[in-house]
Every structure is written in structure tokens, then in C-alpha cells.
């Protein structure tokens, strides 16, 4: 049994990490819940027991075998070295180490071989990249992908627990005829959508879009894969939806794609044309698997298919994938 630390345990992803660890019967002998100073002294429930949250500090990792980090890049850069010095394996959910060439960026169903020779730290991808690659990887086994054009419909959970709570508050205010006042994100969120609010960078794309491109290339082992992405926040509590236009080096039939996705681990094909039932957050929320469907040939490009993917941002996009990485590392 392992001593397991969870940094950022009181946040949205930290809460899901505890639930996933318990649901998957991960071998936790002792839990070390860590958070900021303001959360120290609170308790979290794990396997029916109340465990007191500690402040994250260099000494908090003594005796820890495995540490999950989900408290942002700044905290990861500050404390991952201390966790490693104490001998802990680290699975980091922030952007701190994702593009470090020495650190693997892993989705276990897609690139488990990247774990070979890991330096004791493994990066968990951006939620959009993790969900998108679950739809792309099975298709990449059919033919070489030449280009991907993506549009994302990202839920409030991607901005954390406070954003989810603010969406509920704004929705209630709007329905009551009251003024909607954004408190977490830059724009009104209820009954609205807007371009992802990450800063616009020199190439005209925002930081979220640039992260998705870089991380997909790394996970798929295609450093020059042409990808264009537009990221949009939509008023959904959890589960991101992604539209994918995928161009191949040969014609790939819809039937071939359906078969590949049906056989793919961690994917559920949801492609019922008769009922007009395709992947959507209502079905994907709380679901471990990524829903993929709305398969159709692009009439403007003989070698391209259009696909829709939807996955729970807090699960496959964060906590579940992190636990799956840990399972692979420890042979669970």
C-alpha cells in the first residue's frame, strides 16, 4: 500500500481525484491531503474517514510514495522538486512540465510507451488535448493524419470550482431578472459563450489554443502535425465538447472510423443518426469514457472526416487520466 499525497485536494480536480482513487480501489495506505494555508485544517472524506488537510510545504512530502499535483503551475514548480527529493513519484496536472522534453506527457490508452524511462515526474495533459486525442488516436491507426481543424466548447469546470459556482449564480440571477455580474471569468457566462479568456499571444492564438496544439503534437509523436484550433467557453458545468475535422493521407470511410472507435479503449461510439443522438455533455458528465460520434465525410475534402468528441473535463480531462497514469507507473 502507498502513501499518497494530493496537492490541491480541496479544488474541483482534487475532489475528483479522491473520488476516482476510491472508486478504482487504488492502493492508498495513507492519504496526505495538501492545499493552501487557507484550507489547512479543513477535512476531506476518503474511504469513509475524515482526513485533515495540511498546508503544502517542503516537509509535507516526507514518506510520500506518490504525489498528485493539481494546484496550478506555480505551485507545481515550487513543490515538485521537494516531492522528488523525498522520493515520491509525481503525476502533475498543471502546465508546468508538459512541454519539458525530458518529462513524458501521457494518455495511457494512446502513448503508454512514453512512460519508459520517466524521470520520476509524469505530466497530465491539458483537458482539451486529453479528450481530443482519445478521438484522434484510433483514427490515426487507420491512416496518417495530415491536418486537424478543431473547435472546442469548453465547460465551466475547466476554470475550476469557483467558475462552476459562478455559472450557477449567474444563471439564477438572469432567470430572476437580476443583473448578471461576472466574478470569475471576464464576461457574463450565463446564456452566453465567448472565446477562451486566456491571453492572446504573438501568433494571434490564445494561450489555451497554443497549449492544445503543442500538447497534441507531443502526445501523438507528431511535432509538425498541422493543427488549427479555436477554443470557446460555453455555459455548461462540466464536460468539454470538441468538433474535429480530420484530414488523412487517403480516403477513410465512415465505416472504418466507426469500427476503429468501437474497438478503442476508453471510447464509446455515440453515433445514432436515426435518433439524432450524438456526443453531448449531458451524457458525458460523470462518464469515464470519451464519447465520440457524428461521423461523416467532409464533402469539401475527399480525404477528410468530421467527428464530434465529448468528455468529462474533470475525469478523462484531469483526475481519471492522472490516476490511470499512476496505475501504469505502479503496475496496479
Would you say 285 and 238 are in contact if contact means Cβ atoms under 8 Å apart?
Answer: yes
Contact 305, 327 (CB under 8 A): no
User: What nine digits make up the cell of 171?
Assistant: 444563471
What CA–CA distance (Å, rounded) separates 148 from 132?
11
Query: Residue-wise over 185-196: b if at least 16 C-beta within 10 A, else e?
Result: beebbbeeeeeb
Q: Which residues, in sequence order, are bridge partners of residue 194?
A: 233
Which residues participate in catalysis according to the annotation?
127, 240
User: What count of residues does the chain have?
Assistant: 332
DSSP-based three-state secondary structure for 106: coil
E strands within the chain?
2-7, 28-35, 43-46, 49-52, 54-55, 66-69, 89-92, 121-123, 145-154, 194-195, 227-233, 240-248, 267-269, 290-297, 304-311
* Residue 186, all three cell numbers: 471576464
- Runs of H (alpha helix) within 253-319: 254-263, 281-284
Evaluate whether 252 touches 303 at the Cβ level (below 8 Å): yes
Question: What is the C-alpha separation between 285 and 293, in angstroms, rounded?
Answer: 16
Which region, left, alpha or beta, applies to residue 149 given φ > 0 means left and ψ of -120 to 50 means alpha? beta
* Angstrom distance (rounded) from CA 294 to CA 271: 5
Amino acid at each position: 500500500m502507498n502513501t499518497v499525497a494530493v496537492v490541491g485536494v480541496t479544488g474541483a480536480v482534487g475532489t475528483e481525484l479522491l473520488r476516482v482513487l476510491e472508486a478504482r480501489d487504488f492502493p492508498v495506505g495513507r492519504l496526505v491531503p495538501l492545499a493552501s494555508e487557507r484550507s489547512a485544517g479543513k477535512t476531506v472524506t476518503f474511504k469513509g474517514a475524515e482526513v485533515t488537510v495540511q498546508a503544502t510545504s517542503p516537509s509535507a512530502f516526507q514518506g510520500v510514495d506518490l504525489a498528485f499535483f493539481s494546484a496550478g503551475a506555480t505551485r507545481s514548480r515550487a513543490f515538485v522538486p521537494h516531492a522528488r527529493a523525498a522520493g515520491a513519484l509525481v503525476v502533475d496536472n498543471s502546465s508546468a512540465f508538459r512541454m519539458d522534453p525530458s518529462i513524458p506527457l501521457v494518455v495511457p490508452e494512446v502513448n503508454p510507451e512514453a512512460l519508459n524511462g520517466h524521470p520520476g515526474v509524469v505530466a497530465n495533459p491539458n483537458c482539451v488535448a486529453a479528450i481530443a486525442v482519445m478521438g484522434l488516436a484510433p483514427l490515426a491507426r487507420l491512416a496518417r493524419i495530415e491536418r486537424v481543424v478543431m473547435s472546442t466548447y469548453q465547460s465551466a469546470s475547466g476554470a475550476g470550482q469557483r467558475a462552476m459556482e459562478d455559472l450557477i449564480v449567474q444563471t439564477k440571477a438572469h432567470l430572476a431578472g437580476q443583473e448578471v455580474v461576472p466574478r470569475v471569468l471576464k464576461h457574463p457566462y450565463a446564456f452566453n459563450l465567448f472565446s477562451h479568456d486566456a491571453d492572446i499571444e504573438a501568433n494571434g492564438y490564445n494561450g489555451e489554443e497554443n497549449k492544445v496544439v503543442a500538447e497534441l503534437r507531443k502526445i501523438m509523436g507528431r511535432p509538425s502535425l498541422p493543427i488549427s484550433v479555436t477554443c470557446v467557453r460555453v455555459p455548461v458545468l462540466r464536460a468539454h465538447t470538441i468538433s474535429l475535422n480530420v484530414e488523412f493521407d487517403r480516403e477513410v470511410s465512415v465505416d472504418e472510423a466507426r469500427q476503429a472507435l468501437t474497438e478503442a479503449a476508453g471510447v464509446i461510439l455515440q453515433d445514432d443518426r436515426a435518433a439524432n443522438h450524438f456526443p453531448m455533455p449531458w451524457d458525458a458528465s460523470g462518464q469515464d469514457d470519451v464519447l465520440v460520434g457524428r461521423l461523416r465525410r467532409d464533402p469539401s475534402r475527399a480525404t477528410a472526416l468530421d467527428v464530434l468528441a465529448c468528455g468529462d473535463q474533470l475525469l478523462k480531462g484531469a483526475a481519471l487520466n492522472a490516476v490511470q497514469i499512476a496505475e501504469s507507473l505502479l503496475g496496479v
